[in-house]
Structure 1
Amino acid sequence: MEEDRNLSRKTVLRAALAAGVAVPAAFVAAPALARTRADGPALEPTPMCDDGDDPTPPQMEGPYFKPNSPQRTSMVGDGPGTRLTVSGYVFGLACQPLSGVLLDFWQADTNGAYDNVRFRFRGHQFTTAQGAFSLTTIVPGLYPGRTRHIHVKAQAPGRPVLTTQLYFPGEPRNNTDSLYDPRLLMTVRNAGGGREAAFDFVLNVPGAPGTTTTRPTTTTTSPGGGTWTPGTTYPVGSRVTYGGRGYVCLQAHTAHAGWEPPNVPALWRAE
Structure 2
Amino acid sequence: MEDGHTDHTETAQEDGARRGITRKNVLKAAVAAVPIPLLLGGVALARDSKSSGGPLTPTPYCDDGDDPTPPQIEGPYFKPNSPLRDSLVQPGTQGTRLTVSGFVFGLTCQPLSHVLLDWWQADANGNYDNVGFRFRGHQFTDQRGAFKLTTIVPGLYPGRTRHLHVKVQAPNQPILTTQLYFPGEPRNNTDPLFNPALLMNVRQNGPAKEASFDFVLRVRGGSGPSPTDQPTAPGGTWASGTDYRTGDQVTYGGAAYTCLQPHTARDGWEPPAVPALWRRT
Q: Are 1:53 and 2:45 counterparts?
A: no
- Once the two structures are TM-superposed, the CA of residue 157 in structure 1 deviates from its matched residue by 1.1
Which amino acid in structure 2 is aligned with residue 267 of structure 1? L
With 248-257 and 121-130 compared, the bigger mean Cα shift is at 248-257
Q: CA RMSD in A?
A: 3.7
CA pair 177-34 structure 1, distance change in 2 beyond 3 A: farther
- Once the two structures are TM-superposed, the CA of residue 239 in structure 1 deviates from its matched residue by 4.0
Correspondence for 1:250: 261
Q: Are 1:91 and 2:105 counterparts?
A: yes
Correspondence for 2:219: 205
What secondary structure, in the 3-state scheme, does the structure 2 residue paired with 1:166 have? strand
- Once the two structures are TM-superposed, the CA of residue 253 in structure 1 deviates from its matched residue by 5.2
CA pair 199-115 structure 1, distance change in 2 beyond 3 A: same
- Once the two structures are TM-superposed, the CA of residue 136 in structure 1 deviates from its matched residue by 0.6
Partners of 1:145 and 1:29 lie apart in 2 by: 47
Contact 1:220 1:230 in 2 (8 A): no
Correspondence for 2:187: 173
Partners of 2:43 and 2:258 lie apart in 1 by: 42
What TM-score do the two structures reach when normalised by structure 1?
0.78
Q: Are 1:76 and 2:58 counterparts?
A: no
Residue of 234, 242, 245 corresponding to 1:236: 245
> Which sections of structure 2, spanning at least 5 residues, go unmatched?
1-14, 52-57
Partners of 2:43 and 2:245 lie apart in 1 by: 41
Map 1:31-180; keep pairs closer than 5 Å. Answer: 48-77=61-90, 79-180=93-194
What TM-score do the two structures reach when normalised by structure 2?
0.75
Deviations 1:211-248 (CA, angstroms, capped at 9, x unpaired): 67443416324xxxxxx858684633224489999956
Contact 1:220 1:231 in 2 (8 A): no
Contact 2:103 2:146 in 1 (8 A): yes
CA pair 63-241 structure 1, distance change in 2 beyond 3 A: farther
Partners of 1:26 and 1:162 lie apart in 2 by: 24
Contact 2:61 2:107 in 1 (8 A): no
Percentage identity across paired residues of the two chains: 57
| Count of residue correspondences | 251
